[in-house]
Amino acid sequence: MTALSLPNESIFPYLTPIELFKEKDIVKVCAPMVRYSKLAFRKLVRKYDCDLAFTPMIVANSFIKSIKARDNDLTTSFDDKPLIVQFAANNAQDFAEATEIVAPFVDGVDLNCGCPQRWAMAEGYGASLLKKSDLLCDMIKQATSRVNRADFTVSMKIRIHADIRETVDFCQKVEKMGLSFLTVHGRNKYQRCEPVDFDAIKIVKDSVQIPVIANGDIRSMDDVSRVSDSTGVDGVMSARGILANPAMYSGFFDTPLHCIQDWVDIALSLGTSFSIFHHHLILMLEHLLPKAERNVFNSLASTSAVLDFLRENVGIK
């Protein structure tokens, strides 16, 4: 079911993002991940104590121009809540129009200001926006003006600048434009595997009044506690960690078999494409299978072959 055709009569009790930040000591978040944080995976992690989920990044310009793009990019359901749509945009009009389209069906929108990939930077998306605070202030202002809902959030996901003083100045400027909360990835746009700078995240948290989510190398509840204690943030966001172990927020150090079974059931019931269905399993099974068996599983080319392998080798129906 697409987000733009949800039945009005569907009622599902849940906490909005604003309520989550008020009521929980630490909000546990599933990151926006291209190809991976789609409906089936969001449903899975919600079963294992994930409080808030994001869609994959959606290019706002294509989204507002094409109904087909909307149907392909944004699929949800009445119980897929709370949900935030992340957009890539490079101008205020596109971001505001995309926000207005999705506002009746989701709980907020998020502007990607952290993607360091070359294609995104070349198009003026992602981390290229970090040096354009005036433009970003206009984008936030126009998006918030399009939605007349007190519980609707307009947020932003960023990477830090090499000079943390730039980041603080940047964050304080966009906060004044009505930003609801901020997610901070503790690396700059040139870094990939370097250690996350949690000290920088703490400085950002201490410099603004809105909630702050820490992102980067969150792989277990031990990491959640450590980062929460050291930074004082209001939430944590996991990407690679939750892909490898969708049950991490429930305290599991590795993906339990019943979580793998849940993935199979959910993914098949929603008609998930084979490539996504299979790749999620590759990540979940890495700790369970010896290298030789992993090589066999990773080379499988059909859903039936995957199900046969899981039944014979893992005990998954």
Residue 79 CB partners (closer than 8 Å, separation 6+)? 12, 43
Q: Is 156 annotated as a binding residue?
A: no
Distances in Å between the alpha carbon of 223 and those of 162, 229, 249, 264? Answer: 24, 10, 10, 27
Ramachandran quadrant class, 124 (left: phi over 0; alpha: psi -120 to 50; beta: rest): left
For residue 81, the SS3 value is: coil
Residue 161 structure tokens: 């600048």
Inter-residue contact 116 to 159 (CB < 8 Å): yes
DSSP 8-state symbol, 66: -
Residue 219 CB partners (closer than 8 Å, separation 6+)? 238, 240, 241, 244, 245, 248
Which residue has tokens 């959606």? 58
Strands 212-215 and 182-185: parallel
Q: Is 211 annotated as a binding residue?
A: no
H helices then E strands: how many in the chain? Answer: 15, 9
Residue 147 CB partners (closer than 8 Å, separation 6+)? 99, 100, 103, 154
Calpha distance 248→101 (Å, rounded): 33
Q: Is 239 annotated as a binding residue?
A: yes
Calpha distance 120→32 (Å, rounded): 15
Which is the catalytic residue, given 30, 50, 113, 115? 115
Calpha distance 122→109 (Å, rounded): 23
Q: Is 256 annotated as a binding residue?
A: no
Q: Which helix (H) or strand (E) holds 64?
A: helix 60-65
Q: Is 86 annotated as a binding residue?
A: yes
Active site residue 115: yes
Hey, which residues are catalytic here? Answer: 115
Q: Residues at the annotated binding site for FMN?
A: 32-34, 86, 185, 239-240
